[in-house]
Homo-oligomer: A and B are copies of this chain.
Amino acid sequence: MNHTETLTRYTANFVDELSINGLTDVVISPGSRSTPLALTFSEHKQIKEWIIIDERSAAFFALGMAKQTKRPVALVCTSGTAAANYFPAIVEAHYSRVPLIVLTADRPHELRDVGAPQAIEQLKLYGDYVKWFQEMAVPEATPAMLRFVRSKAARSVYMAQEGNAGPVHLNFPFREPLNPDFSLENIWGVEYEQSYMPALDGKKRLEQNQLEQLIEKLKEKQNGIIVCGPQTDEIFAKAVTNLAAQWELPVLADPLSQVRSGQHHKDNVIETYDAILRNEEIREKLKPDFIIRFGAMPVSKPYLFYVKEHIQAMQLVVESHTGYREPAGNATEFIFADPVLLCEDLIQTETALNFDTGWLDEWKRMNLIAKKHLLNGTEEKITEGEAVRGLMEVIPDSSSLYTGNSMAVRDVDTFFMTTPKNISVLANRGANGIDGMVSSGMGAAASGDPVTLLLGDLSFFHDMNGLLAAKHYNLNITILIVNNNGGGIFSFLPQANDQKHFEALFGTPADVDFKHGIMMYGGEYSLVSTEEELKEALFTSYQNKGLSVVEVKTDRVTNAQWHRHKWKQIETEILGDGN
């Protein structure tokens, strides 16, 4: 068999096996060495390819798509720094447990470490940030080697998803000439119709005696809270709120827990705990006997303080597979079990518990007070909080909100009140970077679902290259930029007191008019200055096809003051006469 036929069959069997195992999308960045993979993916009828020039954007695009679709997405790039540009998104995928299949083309062995152009050391390039790394063989097309590529392809799809999902990396050495020949017969290896590695993967579930042991511990307690941190399982909300209803416990639900919106029982959901727990006196009064947390640690910093200040509370952390996400440093009991099964199993237990219902009532009372203050009042010039409040009002049912880090996700935490609408809320909370946000949103939008991307100006600036995908693929996306001309979150930190260096080092105003950038990518643009204008502009954007950008210009100092004023109002009313 000649070189081209070998190359073609080897690559085609690999790509086909990915498809058989459920891969539907690949994000390709242009390059020469990656030609065999790029062409073969394009030729495969069941896999859709997305071409993204900037590899950093490409990887975040894949990440956003994988988060939205809950399926692994493949990435293909050429050799050299192209692969290094994937690194930020791979780190994020690792920590936020998103399945990515990273396929890097490489020079063959004889061109490595000899000063050949565009050849860098790519073995284990991403260190421990990938779950699984494989150096692929130089293409061969013997039956044994075609079975080899099939098994690696099938395993890569499995490995990316098993346990805590994450990125996997396969490195492909390719020799020239690099063009496959698709006129050959049966290149896809038609004899293979089922996966090379069909796998039945069980879920962790506590045994009866373990459940009883758990209930025994809870029997002694009175005041408990259920905390739902960032997680993406859609059916979890119903299970956890059913449990909370039966046990009459408050549910502190992070905006990324998928518990604040939907058709499930939400009476016990406390969505304003971030505002409530800002006050130290309130935190002290609210002594919990136990905390059951699902998902990652919530976004809220006051909640972190609350946990750290109550080391006496029994803290239970539930993880589907494994992990140690307990940044407070408290002693913690871990439950490694599927959260939905655990909730269902706990509901079934018949032992009587002695929880204090006054505790739940107090949380509900505080929540109502906080909501009232947060939802009332309108400033003449729109504030950052009001922008997010307005967004949450008009965001369409059955859509996704992708939120940026830093201030954006915190404002969503504050203003995303429980709603019967189905809003899937996504964010890059693995490493909490401000990078790659535009592309992450585009990747989510590429699935065809309506997506709103909320982010600050620094985050928008950081990944403006991501807008090219909207233009190229005519993606439907609404971007709301809250532009305070710099790093707004720093105005809440002690750094703000250093007047000599603050603006240069932390404020970092970019002073650019994004309108030009949006014109470059053919988007609709509107600048709004009141909450009404904002809602109208957003509403219009949801009727439009393609890219719509709505910008709100705010002031960092005013913003910090406005937030502090709201928190003050809330604590004053909660503490009331007793203070």
Residues of A in contact with B (beta carbons under 8 Å apart): 28, 30, 32, 35, 38-39, 42-43, 49, 51, 53-56, 80-82, 84-85, 87-88, 90-92, 95, 110-111, 113-121, 124-125, 127-129, 177-179, 296-297, 299, 323-327, 329, 429, 431-433, 435-436, 458, 461-462, 464-465, 468, 471-472, 487, 489-490, 493-495, 497-498, 501, 504-506, 508, 510-514, 516-517, 519-521
Q: Are A504 and B327 in contact (CB under 8 A)?
A: no
Tell me which residues across on chain B come within 8 A of A299, comparing CB atoms: 117
Contact of A516 among B118, B129, B517 (CB under 8 A): B517
Q: CA of A128 to CA of B119 in the docked complex: distance in angstroms?
A: 15
As for how many copies of this chain the complex holds, the number is 2
Tell me which residues across on chain B come within 8 A of A91, comparing CB atoms: 80-81, 84, 120
CB distance from A514 to the nearest CB of B (A): 7
Known A88-B85, A516-B517; contact A121-B115, beta-carbon cutoff 8 A: no
Tell me which residues across on chain B come within 8 A of A495, comparing CB atoms: 32, 35, 178-179
Q: CA of A37 to CA of B465 in the docked complex: distance in angstroms?
A: 30
Q: Are A179 and B498 in contact (CB under 8 A)?
A: yes
Identify 15 new A-B residue pairs, CB closer than 8 A, beyond the known A87-B87, A114-B329. Answer: A30-B487, A32-B493, A35-B506, A51-B508, A53-B458, A56-B56, A80-B431, A81-B435, A82-B433, A85-B88, A87-B88, A95-B120, A115-B327, A117-B429, A461-B465
Q: CA of A91 to CA of B119 in the docked complex: distance in angstroms?
A: 11
Q: Are A178 and B494 in contact (CB under 8 A)?
A: yes
CB distance from A497 to the nearest CB of B (A): 7
Q: CA of A286 to CA of B178 in the docked complex: distance in angstroms?
A: 30
Tell me which residues across on chain B come within 8 A of A82, comparing CB atoms: 433, 435
Q: Are B42 and A501 in contact (CB under 8 A)?
A: yes
Tell me which residues across on chain B come within 8 A of A497, comparing CB atoms: 179
Tell me which residues across on chain B come within 8 A of A468, comparing CB atoms: 461, 510, 512
Which 8 pairs, one residue from A and one from B, show the smallest C-beta to C-beta distance?
A115-B325, A81-B433, A116-B327, A516-B520, A81-B88, A84-B88, A87-B87, A118-B432
CB distance from A379 to the nearest CB of B (A): 27
Q: CA of A297 to CA of B464 in the docked complex: distance in angstroms?
A: 36
**Considering only CB atoms, which chain B residue lies closest to A513 in the complex?**
B520
Known A179-B494, A495-B35; contact A42-B128, beta-carbon cutoff 8 A: no
Tell me which residues across on chain B come within 8 A of A329, comparing CB atoms: 110, 114
Q: Are B115 and A297 in contact (CB under 8 A)?
A: yes
**Considering only CB atoms, which chain B residue lies closest to A117 in the complex?**
B432
**Considering only CB atoms, which chain B residue lies closest to A301 in the complex?**
B117
Q: CA of A116 to CA of B329 in the docked complex: distance in angstroms?
A: 10
Q: Are A54 and B462 in contact (CB under 8 A)?
A: yes
Known A54-B462, A508-B51; contact A323-B471, beta-carbon cutoff 8 A: no
Contact of A42 among B113, B458, B505 (CB under 8 A): B505
Most buried by B among A32, A81, A513: A81
Tell me which residues across on chain B come within 8 A of A92, comparing CB atoms: 81
Contact of A511 among B35, B177, B435, B471 (CB under 8 A): B471
**Considering only CB atoms, which chain B residue lies closest to A461 in the complex?**
B53
CB distance from A516 to the nearest CB of B (A): 4
Tell me which residues across on chain B come within 8 A of A297, comparing CB atoms: 115-117
**Considering only CB atoms, which chain B residue lies closest to A332 in the complex?**
B114
Tell me which residues across on chain B come within 8 A of A431, comparing CB atoms: 80-81, 84, 118-120
Tell me which residues across on chain B come within 8 A of A128, comparing CB atoms: 121
Most buried by B among A28, A111, A115, A506: A115
CB distance from A174 to the nearest CB of B (A): 13
**Considering only CB atoms, which chain B residue lies closest to A76 in the complex?**
B505
Q: Are A514 and B520 in contact (CB under 8 A)?
A: yes
CB distance from A87 to the nearest CB of B (A): 4
Tell me which residues across on chain B come within 8 A of A487, comparing CB atoms: 30
Contact of A117 among B327, B501, B505, B516 (CB under 8 A): B327
Q: Are B87 and A84 in contact (CB under 8 A)?
A: yes
Tell me which residues across on chain B come within 8 A of A325, comparing CB atoms: 114-115
Tell me which residues across on chain B come within 8 A of A323, comparing CB atoms: 115
Q: CA of A564 to CA of B487 in the docked complex: distance in angstroms?
A: 51
Q: CA of A81 to CA of B464 in the docked complex: distance in angstroms?
A: 17
Q: CA of A455 to CA of B470 in the docked complex: distance in angstroms?
A: 25
Most buried by B among A323, A501, A506, A519: A501
Tell me which residues across on chain B come within 8 A of A43, comparing CB atoms: 501
Chain A to chain B contacts (Cβ below 8 Å), 26 pairs: A30-B458, A38-B501, A53-B458, A53-B510, A56-B85, A81-B92, A81-B433, A81-B436, A84-B88, A84-B90, A84-B431, A85-B87, A95-B120, A114-B326, A115-B323, A117-B297, A117-B429, A118-B432, A124-B127, A127-B127, A179-B495, A465-B465, A468-B510, A468-B512, A516-B517, A516-B519
Tell me which residues across on chain B come within 8 A of A511, comparing CB atoms: 471-472
Q: CA of A56 to CA of B87 in the docked complex: distance in angstroms?
A: 11
Known A54-B461, A81-B433, A514-B520; contact A296-B115, beta-carbon cutoff 8 A: yes
Tell me which residues across on chain B come within 8 A of A505, comparing CB atoms: 28, 30, 35, 38-39, 42, 51
Q: CA of A521 to CA of B324 in the docked complex: distance in angstroms?
A: 45
Q: CA of A178 to CA of B110 in the docked complex: distance in angstroms?
A: 49
Q: CA of A465 to CA of B463 in the docked complex: distance in angstroms?
A: 8
Q: Are A433 and B51 in contact (CB under 8 A)?
A: no
Q: CA of A433 to CA of B32 in the docked complex: distance in angstroms?
A: 12
